[in-house]
Amino acid sequence: MAQGFLCRRDTRWSEGRKKDLGWLYSKVPAAAAGVYTTNQFQAAPTKLTKQTVNLDHQLQAVVMNSANANSCTGPQGLVNAKTMQHLAAKKLGLTDQLVGVASTGIIGEPLPMDKITNGISQLSLTKSAAVTEAVLTTDKHPKSISVQFEFNNEPVIVTGFAKGSGMIHPKMATMLGFVTTDAKIDGVALQQLLNQQVDETFNQITVDGDTSTNDMVLVLANGMAQTSPVTADPAGYALFAAAFHQVLSFLAKSIAKDGEGATKLVEADVLHAYNHDEAQMVAKAIVGSNLVKAAIFGEDPNWGRLMGAIGQTKAHLDTNHVDVWLNDQPVVKDSQAYLIDPQVVASHLHENQVNVKVDLHNGKALGQAWGCDLTYQYVKINASYHN
C-alpha cells in the first residue's frame, strides 16, 4: 500500500449472501480522479461520487459495500448514498465532500440502512489487505497489485485492487477499481492520465457484453512520497505512467480471467491494422464474440468464428490477406485454412490461457483486448443470481 493510506474490510453486516463494508482512507487529502459507467441508469453512489470528485478533484476516503448496488432505487437511493457518505465522514472526522461512495450487488433493492449504519460505526482505521474482498460479488478471487519505482532517489508506490466477474463490458465501467499512490500529481493531470489509460486497459475487456449501472475506477494520489511532482520531470512522469499502466493492465486482465464461470483467459492481439482505433475494435470483437468464446471453452479449433467476428467490424480489411494464429499455431493464411490437422490445433487450446493473434496486413497499428470463455457455469450463476 502506498504511504499514508489505510484500508479495511471490517464487518459482515448481514447473514446469508456475503455482505461486506470496507474503506480506503488517506492521512491527508488526496488528488482524485475517476471514470464512471456510461450506462444511462447510473447508480446513486456513482452519481454522488462523480459529483464529489468533480468539485475540486479531491478525496480523502472511500466507503464501499457489496451485495447491494443501490441502483434503480429512486430518490431514496440518492438519500441513502449521501447518508453513507455523511456517516463515513463523521466517523473519520472529515467533511462529506472528501468521501466517495461505491456500491455493488443486486440492482433495485433498497439499501438496508440500519445494517449499513451499524457497519460503518464498526469500521476502524487500520491497514488490512482484506479490503480487496469487501466489494466481491460473484468473483472467485480478489484482484490486487502494488508497483514501486524510484524517482528523485525515493520510492514511489502505486497500488490497486478491483472487483469484477460478471456484467463486464466497460465503457466505463462494469466493475469497481481503486488505485492509490503516494506520488505528487495534481487532480487534473491525474484525470487526464486515467482517461487515457482506461481506454487501453479496462475498456478493452469483456466477459458478457453487459455494461453495469454502477461501477467506476477511482484514483487517489496523496503526494506523501518525498519527491518533486512527477509532472515536473518528463522522465519522472514516464516512470509514473508506466507503473500506473502496469497496475491498470494487471487488474483488467485479472477481471477477464475471473469472468463468471470462466476456465480460460482469452487475449487477442491485432497487428498491422489501418489505425489504432480499428485495431482495438477488432481485438474487442474477437474476445466479445459468444461463438468464439464457446468454441474456446469447447477447445474447438473453429477459426471460421474468428473470421466472422473480424469481418463484422467496420475495420478496413484486405479480405484476401488476413492471417490468424491460436497460441502461436497458424490456422489461417491469406484468409484461407492453413493446412494442418485440426487435432493439432485443438491441442493448443487445452491451456488456461488462449492467445488469438491476427495480422490484418493493412497498416502499422496494434490493438489488444482480453476476455474469457463462455461456459455452462456462466448460465448457472446468472440463472440464480438472486439466490
Which residues define the annotated binding site? 137, 163, 174, 260, 382
Half-sphere exposure of 77 (CA within 13 A, CB side): 22
CA–CA–CA angle 288, 200, 53 (5° rounding): 110
Residue with cell 487534473: 188
Closest of 386, 41, 35 to residue 213, by C-alpha:
41
DSSP 162-228: EE-SSS---SS-SSEEEEEE-----HHHHHHHHHHHHHHTGGGB-SSS---SS-EEEEEE---SSS-
Quickly count: other Cβ atoms within 10 Å of residue 140's Cβ. Answer: 12
Catalytic residue set = 174
Distance CA 230, CA 238 (A): 8
From residue 171, alpha-carbon distances to 26, 37, 200, 279 in Å are 28, 6, 11, 17
In whole angstroms, what is the distance from residue 330 CA to residue 324 CA? 6
Instruction: Please count the CA atoms within 13 angstroms of the CA of 209 that sit on its side-chain side.
Output: 10
Of the candidates 342, 358, 201, the one whose C-alpha atom is nearest the C-alpha of residue 278 is 358
Sequence ranges of the binding site for substrate: 137, 163, 174, 260, 382
DSSP of 72-140: S-HHHHHHHHHHHHHHHHHHHT--GGGEEEEEBSBSSPPP-HHHHHHHHHH--S---GGGGGTT-SS-S
From the list 73, 97, 89, 156, the residue with the least C-alpha distance to 123 is 89
